[in-house]
């Protein structure tokens, strides 16, 4: 699966000393850009032990997203105002983030890659799931309340936290776990758990 002939290198504007190499490792890392955990595929500088998510290494300064169609989202360093969490995964923002200033809407670069529809996903194969903002209800994976964005099947009334797509439950403090992993699996960037 890892073919050295196809090694991709990037120049990364926050680590200009050396180019970063695309590598796949099973180990976890902390992304130097968004400061969240990742696992699997990454851009890395071995000399400096510097890792970033594939998405964070290549994300543009501004994007438009179906999750916030009214405005363009701008990439910014951590907003050092108050406590902010990503609107999609509901985890704390510690580093670089996409923001709509007018609406105070925040989303991690990796979470901005989440697809609007997931079809044939292991967690609910019969129907496609749609990522949407809804009123509070219970997550069908972890049984905890799901207040904002979730993947939803309207036929079965199934609600799943973004962070629960890997089948593991999320808690407020489990950031050591798979953040970045689930997102990249969902987005088809990393390899899935199933095989």
**In the bound complex, what is the minimum distance in angstroms from residue 22's beta carbon to Zn ion?**
14
Measure the CA angle with vertex 46, ends 18 and 23; round to 5°: 100
Smallest CA-to-CA distance from 142 within 177, 116, 192, 109 is with 177
**In the bound complex, what is the minimum distance in angstroms from residue 138's beta carbon to Zn ion?**
9
Do residues 47 and 18 lie in contact, with contact meaning Cβ atoms separated by under 8 Å? Answer: yes
- Listing DSSP states for 82-150 in one string gives S--B-TTT-PBP-S-EEEETTTTEEE-TTGGG--SEE-S-TTSTTS-EEEEE---EE-TTT-SEE-SEE
Give, as ranges, the residues between 113 and 142 that touch Zn ion (CB under 5 A). 127, 139, 141-142
How many angstroms separate the CA atoms of 132 and 66, rounded? 10
- Residue 125: both structure tokens together: 């194969």
Smallest CA-to-CA distance from 150 within 170, 171, 136, 166 is with 136
Give, as ranges, the residues between 65 and 84 that touch Zn ion (CB under 5 A). 71
Give whichever of 5 and 114 is closer to Zn ion, judged by the CB atom: 114
The only residue of 65, 161, 165, 166 in contact with Zn ion, by rule CB under 5 A: 161
User: Is 103 a binder of Zn ion (CB under 5 A)?
Assistant: yes
**In the bound complex, what is the minimum distance in angstroms from residue 86's beta carbon to Zn ion?**
3
Of the candidate spans 59-67, 74-82, 113-121, 148-156, the one that interacts with Zn ion by CB under 5 A turns out to be 148-156
Give, as ranges, the residues between 34 and 63 that touch Zn ion (CB under 5 A). 34, 45, 47-48, 53, 56
User: Is 21 a binder of Zn ion (CB under 5 A)?
Assistant: no
Q: Which residues of this chain interact with Zn ion, rule CB under 5 A?
A: 17-18, 31, 33-34, 45, 47-48, 53, 56, 71, 86, 88-89, 100, 102-103, 108, 111, 127, 139, 141-142, 153, 155-156, 161, 164
């Amino acid at each position: 699966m890892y073919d050295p002939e196809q090694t991709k290198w990037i120049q990364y504007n926050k680590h200009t000393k050396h180019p970063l190499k695309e590598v796949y490792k099973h180990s976890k890392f902390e992304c130097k850009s968004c400061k969240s955990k990742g696992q699997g595929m990454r851009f890395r500088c071995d000399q400096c032990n510097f890792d970033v998510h594939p998405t964070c290494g290549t994300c543009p300064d501004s994007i438009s997203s179906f999750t916030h169609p009214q405005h363009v989202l701008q990439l910014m360093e951590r907003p050092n105002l108050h406590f902010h969490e990503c609107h999609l995964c509901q985890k704390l923002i510690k580093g670089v983030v996409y923001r709509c200033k007018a609406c105070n809407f925040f989303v991690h670069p990796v979470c901005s890659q989440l697809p609007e529809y997931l079809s044939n996903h292991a967690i609910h194969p019969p129907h496609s799931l749609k990522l949407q903002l809804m009123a509070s209800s219970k997550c069908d994976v972890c049984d905890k309340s799901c207040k904002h964005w979730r993947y939803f099947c309207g036929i079965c009334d199934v609600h799943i936290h973004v962070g629960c797509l890997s089948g593991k439950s999320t808690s407020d403090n489990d950031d050591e776990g798979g953040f970045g992993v689930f997102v990249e699996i969902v987005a088809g960037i990393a390899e899935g758990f199933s095989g």
